[in-house]
Amino acid sequence: MNDMDLKIKGKVPGPDSGIEVRKSLCAICDPNTQCGMDLYVKDGRIIKVAGMKEAPHSHGSLCSKGAALRQYIYSPERVLTPLRRTGERGSGEFEPISWDKALSEIAEKLNAIKDEFGPESVMFFAGYAKWARPYLTRFTMMFGSPNYLTESSTCATAMAMAHQLTYGAPAGPDLKNTDCIMFWSQNPSASGSLNLLNIQKKLDAGMKCIVIDPRVIDLAQRADVYLQIRPGTDGALALAMGHVIVEEGLYDKDFVENWTVGFNEYRELAADMAPEKAAVICGVSAADIRAAARLYATSKTACIQFSAAPVVHHTNGVQNYRAVFCLIPLTGNLDIAGGNRMNKPSIVYVPGGFPTREPQFMCIDRLAGMPERVGEARFPVWAKLTNQAQACDIPRQIRTGDPYPLKAFFALGLNYRMFAGSQDFIDALCELDLIVDVDLFLTDTAKYADYVLPACSSAERRELRCWPMGYIQFTQPAIEPLGQSKSDVEILAELSKHLGLDDELLESGMEACVNWILEPSGLTVEELNKHPEGMFVPGAKPPAERKYLNVGFNTPSGKAEFVSSLLAAVDREGYEELPSYREPEMSPVSQPDLAKEFPLILDTGSRLPMFQHTRMFRVPWARSLSPEPHADICPDDAAAAGIADGSWMKIITPRGQIRARAHLTKMVRKGDVHMYHDWPQANVNDLISGDYLDPISGFPGYRSSLCKIEAENAVEGGADND
């Protein structure tokens, strides 16, 4: 081969090979962890992806999901024109129609529903990616509906609520400056893996590490203390740690005295949870609990790395995480370098150290005059702490019409299988007059839509994103949108016009919106366009320490609250003002009779590194790494059930059963079944009732319910779409 052929084979960029590197980003996962991306383009097509070296968060790396982005973009399953349903809902029978016709018909129907039932009868939902959420929020408000909802009805929000209830705002771990980090149910090997290098460097430099996880994750092996707890008992463990810290006088007396309320009540609550008691509840040793408590409390600085979902995917989730987060003010590790720090988001949840007008752009203040949101009565604290409706309450309200009828659902991406009792959820949606789904693919959910509008991928549109180190990027499209697909924001802007919302700003396009949002930062689109790879924001600064000294905490008392005023104001079961420990609703302890037939704990939702929920299922490069639904079980439980590694087994709950391959691993506790979620042919979420919810957050108790497993002789798996 000559050099030219070699360069083309090696995909070496340059004028001679005709391969150009275009700067972009990966939008597969969460904005907090997304990576900068180099897209290698030749003749208008992406031929390779790589990490963007300039990206300060990802320093030129990608995870397996990002690495597979090319196959995601060029999937033969992309929807390339607007579609109108011709067959039954769910049948997948559609006809292509023009954009103008699709948007006109949708607008006509939405306006008719609005006229007859009020704007609140239309729900607007955002799935993944999260980038367009500010625009959808604004759109929903402009339409006049209070019902802006997102997949955050089962992800992250409850975790944020636990922070907010305790000290007013989420406080993230300051890994860079800490002496000790406590990973509380977060596995960086499978999720947010780009942070691993930073973690490993800190560990190499002597940072102490505590890992709390029902599974022996990689990091557990490098931990000074590892606690393999029973799923759903985090609250008991946290209280026992509090017990040790208080008993041994290791708490920050000054901070507790001046900046917290309810310490005496908390002390009494913790006094009742001796490590020996928690050891029995959690299935760990009291000595390890003491060791973890001492290490966390006596390290000069210590922080807690929490996770978005695992701890709050229990029916006692918010209180459990509240118990965990109480350790932060207890030890004075709140809002200090090396502790857990508060930082205001700049763009789509991510703090960039610079001010924006994103909250104003979203027009949330309009909520004030609107009818109550879906789920507001059932989850009053949710409604106080968020500006969203709680989607887990949708089926109930559709079926009862209480407090008002729901008629239409408009989604920027939706996977109905993400909800507990998934079939009930989609069945309820089918009672609506109109379903519109904007998606890249004709997903199983999209098949239920009356109209499917083709969205384009991150490589085909512009996207604004920032990173906590004060870095910002406003991407350029690397390639033309495939087929007739469009950016979600463009779709919203055009629909706004068809609806006659008269939203001049949104309708004038994304760049105008970005200029408006960024106005306080001094940044402009013109400036950002000069830096396709992104840039450090001039003047961006890391958050100050101890901001509470000036402004207090954003709680009703202005202090960190061991006793929550907001919970105290609601007189309902589960709304205890202290983070007291309750068993998960379905556990071997809370339901011993049921546990006789269903002796194992069903824990769902753990991540595999090649998937982001279902997002990479249809991508062969990712799917080949884990082609079939499987559950992690421990060899002892497998042996007892006569199940061989790799064989098909049944996972059975009182609601039904699914088939999955058994993966025997010593990573999991005896008695736990970790089933990976979202498999179309083995939808574990349907084994859990849509009403199996945390009473505070409305989050499903995915991570602890009861099940049993049975061996099954090998047969081929079922249909396999999502």
Residues that bind another protein (CB under 8 A): 1, 3, 6-7, 9-12, 47-51, 58, 60-64, 66-68, 70-71, 188-190, 193-194, 196-197, 200, 216, 218, 221, 609-610, 620-622, 624-625, 665-667, 714
Q: Pick the closest to residue 99 from 111, 77, 84 (CA basis).
A: 84
Looking at beta carbons only, is 175 or 568 nearer to another protein?
A: 175
Contacts of 412 (CB under 8 A, 6+ apart): 125, 126, 127, 132, 136, 438, 455, 488
Q: To 5 degrees, how large is the angle CA 620–CA 657–CA 443?
A: 35
Nearer to another protein, 35 or 687 (CB): 35
In single-letter form, the type of residue at position 454 comes to P
Q: Where are the beta strands (DSSP E) in 343-413?
A: 408-412
| Identity of the residue, 71 or 580, whose beta carbon is nearer to another protein in the bound complex | 71
In sequence order, what are the residues at sequence separation of 6 or more whose Cβ sits closer than 8 angstroms to the Cβ of residue 544? Answer: none
Q: Which is nearer to another protein, 1 or 551 (CB)?
A: 1
Instruction: Please state the closest distance from residue 659 (CB atom) to another protein, in A.
Output: 18
- Nearer to another protein (CB atom), residue 448 or residue 617: 617
- CB of 54 vs another protein, minimal distance in Å: 15
Quote the radius of gyration of the chain (alpha carbons, Å). 25
DSSP 185: S
Distance from C-alpha of 24 to C-alpha of 38, rounded to nearest angstrom: 6
Q: Which is nearer to another protein, 193 or 415 (CB)?
A: 193
* Contact of 432 with 458, CB cutoff 8 Å: no
Per the CB < 8 A criterion, the answer to whether 337 and 301 are in contact is: yes
What is the biggest distance separating any 2 CA atoms in the chain, rounded to whole angstroms? 78
Q: Which is nearer to another protein, 222 or 498 (CB)?
A: 222
What Å distances lie between residue 647 and 151, 349, 381, 678, CA to CA?
Answer: 33, 42, 45, 20
* Residue whose CB is less far from another protein, 126 or 194: 194
The DSSP secondary-structure symbol of 562 reads: S
Nearer to another protein, 188 or 339 (CB): 188
* Encoded amino acid at 558, one letter: G
Query: In terms of Cα–Cα distance, which of 338, 370, 311 is closest to 114?
Result: 370
Q: How far is the CB of 599 from another protein (least distance, A)?
A: 22
3-class DSSP state of 470? coil
Amino acid at 478: A
CB-based contact 156:345 (threshold 8 Å): no
CB 652 within 8 A of CB 570: no
Asked if residue 34 lies in contact with residue 128, where contact means CB atoms within 8 angstroms, the answer is: no
Cβ-contact 182, 325 below 8 angstroms: no
Nearer to another protein, 328 or 610 (CB): 610
Nearest to 389 by CA among 135, 168, 406: 406
What's the CA gap between 29 and 66, in Å, rounded? 9
What is the C-alpha to C-alpha distance for residues 657 and 173, in angstroms, rounded to an integer? 39
Among 722, 103, 135, 66, residue whose Cα is nearest residue 458: 66
Between 74 and 117, CB nearer to another protein: 74
| CA dist., res. 119 & res. 143, Å (int) | 7
Report yes or no: 272 and 261 within 8 Å, Cβ to Cβ.
no
Residue whose tokens read 């007013």:
168
Contacts of 321 (CB under 8 A, 6+ apart): 158, 159, 162, 163, 234, 306, 311, 312
Which amino acid, 545? E
Nearest to 231 by CA among 602, 654, 697, 576: 602
Rounded (to 5) percent helix, strand, coil in the chain: 35, 20, 45
Q: How far is the CB of 611 from another protein (least distance, A)?
A: 10
Q: How far is the CB of 65 from another protein (least distance, A)?
A: 8
Cβ nearer to another protein, comparing 46 with 429: 46
Amino acid at 603: D
Closest distance to another protein from the beta carbon of 217 (Å)? 8
Q: Are strands 260-261 and 560-561 parallel, antiparallel or unpaired?
A: parallel
Q: Smallest distance, Å, CB 4 to another protein? A: 11
Measured CA to CA, the distance from residue 87 to residue 619 in angstroms comes to 27
8 Å CB contact between 451 and 84: yes
Report the nearest approach of another protein to the CB of residue 188 (Å): 8
- For tokens 């208008």, the residue is 44
195 or 298: whose CB is closer to another protein? 195
* SS3 (DSSP) at 473: strand
Identity (one letter) of the amino acid at 581?
A: Y
Structure tokens given for 560: 């960190």
State the Cα–Cα distance between residues 587 and 580, nearest whole angstrom.
17
Going by the DSSP 8-state scheme, the letter that residue 163 receives in this structure is H
